[in-house]
Amino acid sequence: MRFPRAVVPSLFTTLNMFCGFLSITYSVKGDFTNAAIFIFLGSLFDAFDGLMARLTKSASKFGVEFDSLSDIVTFGVAPSFMMYQMEFVSWGSLGLLISALPMICGGIRLARFNVQLSGFDKDYFNGLPIPAQAAILCSYVLTDMDTVLQPIGLGREQILAPLVMVVSLIMVSTIKYDTLPKFTSRDIQAHPVRFTFVLFAALAIIFTKGKALFPVFIFYLLFGIVRWSITCVKKWNSDELDDEEEEEAMAEPTHSNH
């Protein structure tokens, strides 16, 4: 009995969704380390399903929709529930609202992505990708940030609440974030800076035994914001210059040949 090629990427997508479910079960138990690890594991399966779809040439609309459903479980519901159980369960209604933001904004972001999808290979994303949002929150959980925050007089809730809100809102923004390189010779030649960053980030995480995990993802988050801000300032200055040139042109006296 031969299985259709589309089964291969769908299997990885299913494993991604199952990792999200396992993460939720660990959050219920209060084991947030394993909850975060399974979300990261889900992101690996999420990367492999796209790779398998390209290798088997079985990319399809079904695969796109199934992938989005899996993503909302693993990178939307699971991180939201983990944040709620870990920090915001005692905040009442406000805690519920803040905790739900990754799930709500992630759902909006995935729906927008599917509607705007014009091909299966993208050079950049509009808005922070939902796996990156989940990775930022999970890297915070896996990094012992309390030892960093306590000496400067900050509590976990003073950092975590703004962080959850910021990464959630940036998901539904139009700030551009680069896709990860595919580690092919063509892609490396096309994006050498991007490949170099990924390589150095991986080495930093390995040599610091995971301590650089959260700073690396925060750098990725801030890089998109800073680049977008610079682009906006340049555009604003360019529009101002064009307006001034138009005003000067209108103010110049016209000469007639009477």
- Do residues 63 and 13 touch, judged by C-beta distance below 8 A? yes
Task: Please indicate whether residue 191 or residue 257 has the higher confidence score (pLDDT).
Answer: 191
SS3 184: coil
Lowest mean pLDDT segment, chosen from 85-89, 127-131, 254-258: 254-258
Q: Which two tokens stand for residue 243?
A: 């307006």
- The C-alpha atoms of residue 217 and residue 141 are separated, in whole angstroms, by 13
Q: Which two tokens stand for residue 89?
A: 């369960």
pLDDT digits (tens, 9 = 90+) for 148-164: 666 666 666 678 899 99
pLDDT at residue 253 greater than cutoff 60: no
Q: How many residues does the chain have?
A: 258
- pLDDT grade for 258, boundaries at 50, 70 and 90: very low
Span between the terminal Cα atoms of the chain, in Å: 93
Q: What is the overall mean pLDDT for the chain?
A: 84
pLDDT digits (tens, 9 = 90+) for 149-203: 666 666 666 788 999 999 999 999 989 998 876 666 777 777 778 888 888 888 9
pTM, rounded to two decimals? 0.83
SS3 193: helix
Please tell me the predicted confidence (pLDDT) of residue 106: 95
- The C-alpha atoms of residue 32 and residue 180 are separated, in whole angstroms, by 27
Q: Which two tokens stand for residue 175?
A: 């700030």
- The C-alpha atoms of residue 14 and residue 42 are separated, in whole angstroms, by 10
- The C-alpha atoms of residue 232 and residue 213 are separated, in whole angstroms, by 29
- Do residues 159 and 98 touch, judged by C-beta distance below 8 A? no
If we measure between CA atoms, which residue out of 34, 157, 147, 142 comes closest to residue 99? 157
Domains and CATH numbers, the chain: 7-179 (1.20.120.1760)
pLDDT at residue 231 greater than cutoff 80: yes
SS3 59: coil
Question: Looking at the DSSP assignment, which residues form a beta bridge with residue 177?
Answer: 125
- The C-alpha atoms of residue 124 and residue 120 are separated, in whole angstroms, by 12
The region that residue 178 occupies, defined by phi over 0 for left and psi between -120 and 50 for alpha, beta otherwise, is: beta
Please tell me the predicted confidence (pLDDT) of residue 121: 52
Phi first, then psi, for residue 178 (nearest 5°) are: -70, 145
The percent of residues above 70 in pLDDT, for the chain, comes to 79
Task: Please indicate whether residue 50 or residue 137 has the higher confidence score (pLDDT).
Answer: 137
pLDDT digits (tens, 9 = 90+) for 77-122: 999 999 999 989 999 999 999 999 999 999 999 998 888 765 445 6
